[in-house]
């Protein structure tokens, strides 16, 4: 592809997917600009598991050593049914926080509209500024403004699949946090040379919780409340308007902390503690509470707009696939852009569905009752070759 044939891209969203795509386009010499609504990068009390499927990309980008320097390898997942322990070995991987920086990232107001005319696509922002490009990539999360504009257009034309018109569902609420630097005498688990990862399933209660030690001598944790049925943001908001007790699901963080602070956790060297030990050593800005949406859309692109998936590793894999196709596309004609988007979805859809189905199956370990118990013991005592297949 000659310099004149290279497409220009606007990437909406500076999360891991958007920044990964930008970094790869930078290597390929493809012009791009990333727009991010947030004006500052806020701290997040969490870490990310990065496996062998993504580490080679970090090597190619020249950030592999930097990632390893702030990470810990982990080799086991320790599964507990509160008082019942099981051990499962998984492939070596690393915990790390990827620094979200890009010289091409611009703070912006929210996207109001996206229009196509002639051979360009235009993004209209709330501050009356517009930007033109050949392609717009929606990398702006679960409630993507790019996807919403795309779906509105397709719905008006009567061609949006019915499945894509339904509200984004979720069946769990997650409280996440990361402690301050801990005293190794009180928390010996942080002295281990590898990341100690635990998954604990509540016995007779709709909760599961996870802890993992980091290279910074902190402990990250996730506390998941599993809802009795799948909900949606719209349904929750409607229920809240009609009910005096509107906090039936959207508890303040403090309320969820109080509900779960007595849940047991291992601290290392045979010591046990409770989640409250971690809560009390966490600054408020390093705690957050989110809904865990879980859906695979049928529609991934339309015209000159295309979407990346939500979720750290999935979004980065999508970015790699899209960048490779952009690098090899012969021209930036509408026909070639459409063929590129078709190939992108064809390549990524089976992998995304496999990841989605695996996530659903593993989530059943927290259901409770006979079904949850069966799934829990299946995960704990699964033959090693099957486990490697599941988590690859």
Same domain, 212 and 277: yes
Instruction: Examine residue 231 and state whether it is found in any structural domain, yes or no.
Output: yes
Domain boundary among 241, 264, 292: 292
pLDDT band at 360 (very low <50, low <70, confident <90, very high): confident
Q: How many domains does the chain have?
A: 2
138 in a structural domain: yes
Q: What is the mean pLDDT of the chain?
A: 81
Tell me what pLDDT residue 338 has.
96
Contact 45, 287 (CB under 8 A): yes
Both tokens assigned to 258: 């109080």
Tell me which of 250, 271, 292 is where a domain ends.
292
> What is the torsional sign of CA 320, 321, 326, 328?
positive
Same domain, 234 and 329: no
The CATH number of the domain where 245 resides is what? 3.30.9
Instruction: Please tell me whether residues 158 and 270 are part of one structural domain.
Output: no
The pLDDT assigned to 295 comes to: 87
* CATH number of the domain residue 337 falls in: 3.50.50.60
Regarding whether 194 and 255 lie in a shared domain, the answer is: yes
Evaluate whether residue 194 is within a structural domain.
Answer: yes
CA of residue 338 relative to chain centroid, distance: 27
pLDDT of residue 88: 40
pLDDT at position 348 is 96
Q: Are residues 260 and 136 part of one domain?
A: no
Give the Cα separation of 302 and 299 in Å (integer).
8
Closest of 348, 344, 345, 375 to residue 359, by C-alpha: 375
Same structural domain, 266 and 322: no
The candidate with the shortest Cα–Cα distance to 95, out of 197, 208, 203, is 197
Integer Cα distance of 278 and 132 in angstroms: 48
Of 310, 312, 319, the closest CA to residue 27 belongs to 319
Check pLDDT > 50 for residue 87.
no
Q: Could you tell me if 202 and 91 lie in one domain?
A: yes
Query: Do 213 and 354 share a domain, yes or no?
Result: no
Residue 145 to residue 311: CA distance in whole angstroms: 16
Question: Would you say the C-alpha torsion 222, 227, 231, 235 has a positive or negative sign?
Answer: negative
With a cut of 70, say whether residue 79 has pLDDT above it. yes
Residue 85 has pLDDT above 70, yes or no: no
SS3 113: strand
Structural domain boundaries enclosing 274: 48-97+170-292
Question: Residue 246: what pLDDT?
Answer: 39
- Of these ranges, 80-84, 87-91, 354-358, the one predicted with the greatest mean pLDDT is 354-358
Spatial neighbors of 330 by CB under 8 A, at least 6 apart, are 1, 5, 336
The total of other beta-carbon atoms located within 10 Å of residue 332's CB is 19
Asked if residue 376 is part of any domain, the answer here is no
Query: Does residue 85 sit within a domain?
Result: yes
**108-132 residue pLDDT tens:** 667 888 999 878 999 998 888 899 9
Residue 96 pLDDT class (50, 70, 90 cuts): very low
Say what percent of the chain tops pLDDT 70: 77
Which of 174, 258, 270, 170 lies closest to 220, judged by CA? Answer: 174
Phi, psi of 134 (to 5 degrees): -85, -30
Between strands 169-178 and 287-293, the pairing is: antiparallel
Please report whether residue 375 resides in a domain.
Answer: no
Torsion, Cα 207 278 68 77, to 10 degrees, reads: -40
Q: Out of 23-27, 224-228, 341-345, pick the least confident.
A: 224-228
Asked whether residue 56 is domain-assigned, the answer is yes
Domain identity same for 68 and 195: yes
Ranges of beta strands (E only) in 158-294 are 169-178, 197-201, 207-213, 219-232, 264-268, 271-274, 287-293
Final residue of a structural domain among 292, 325, 341: 292
201: left (phi over 0), alpha (psi -120 to 50) or beta: beta
Burial class of residue 17, CB neighbours in 10 A (0-12, 13-18, 19+): buried
Give which of 388, 301, 304 is closest to 349, Cα–Cα.
301
Same domain, 89 and 129: no
299 band by pLDDT with thresholds 50, 70 and 90: very high
Helices (H) and strands (E) in the chain, counts: 12, 19
Residues 279, 183 share a domain: yes
Over residues 363-375, mean pLDDT: 56
pLDDT in tens, 241-296: 444 443 334 456 888 999 999 999 999 888 899 999 999 999 988 888 888 778 89
311: left (phi over 0), alpha (psi -120 to 50) or beta: left
Nearest to 25 by CA among 329, 304, 300: 329
> Does residue 378 belong to any structural domain of this protein?
no
Examine the domain organization and report whether 13 and 135 are in the same domain.
Answer: yes
pLDDT band at 12 (very low <50, low <70, confident <90, very high): very high
């Amino acid at each position: 592809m000659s310099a004149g044939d290279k497409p220009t891209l606007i990437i909406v969203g500076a999360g891991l997917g958007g920044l990964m795509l930008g970094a790869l386009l930078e290597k390929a010499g493809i012009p791009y600009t990333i727009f991010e609504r947030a004006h500052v990068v806020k701290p997040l009390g969490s870490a990310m598991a990065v496996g062998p499927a993504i580490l080679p990309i970090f090597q190619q980008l020249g950030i592999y050593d930097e990632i390893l320097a702030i990470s810990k390898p982990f080799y086991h997942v320790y599964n507990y049914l509160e008082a019942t322990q099981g051990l499962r070995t998984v492939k070596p991987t690393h915990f790390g926080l990827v620094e979200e920086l890009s010289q091409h990232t611009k703070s912006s107001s929210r996207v109001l509209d996206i229009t196509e005319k002639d051979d360009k696509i235009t993004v209209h922002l709330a501050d009356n500024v517009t930007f033109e490009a050949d392609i717009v990539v929606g990398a702006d999360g679960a409630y993507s403004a790019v996807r919403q504009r795309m779906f509105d257009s397709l719905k008006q034309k009567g061609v949006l699949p019915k499945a894509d018109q339904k509200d984004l569902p979720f069946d769990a609420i997650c409280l996440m946090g990361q402690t301050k630097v801990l005293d190794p005498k009180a928390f010996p688990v942080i002295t281990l040379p590898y990341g100690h990862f635990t998954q604990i399933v509540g016995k007779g209660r709709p909760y599961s919780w996870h802890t993992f030690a980091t290279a910074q001598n902190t402990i990250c944790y996730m506390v998941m409340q599993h809802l009795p049925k799948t909900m949606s943001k719209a349904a929750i908001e409607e229920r809240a308007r009609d009910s005096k007790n509107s906090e039936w699901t959207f508890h303040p963080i403090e309320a969820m902390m109080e509900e779960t602070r007595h849940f047991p956790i291992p601290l290392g060297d045979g010591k046990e503690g409770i989640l409250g030990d971690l809560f009390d050593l966490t600054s408020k800005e390093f705690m957050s509470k989110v809904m865990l949406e879980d859906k695979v859309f049928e529609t991934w692109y339309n015209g000159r707009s295309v979407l990346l998936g939500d979720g750290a590793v999935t979004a980065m894999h999508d970015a790699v696939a899209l960048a490779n196709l952009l690098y090899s596309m012969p021209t930036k004609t509408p026909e070639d852009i459409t063929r590129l988007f078709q190939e992108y979805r064809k390549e990524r859809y089976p992998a995304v569905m496999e990841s989605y189905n695996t996530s659903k199956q593993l989530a059943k370990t927290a259901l409770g009752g006979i079904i949850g118990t069966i799934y829990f013991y299946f995960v704990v005592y699964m033959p090693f070759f099957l486990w490697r297949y599941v988590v690859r």
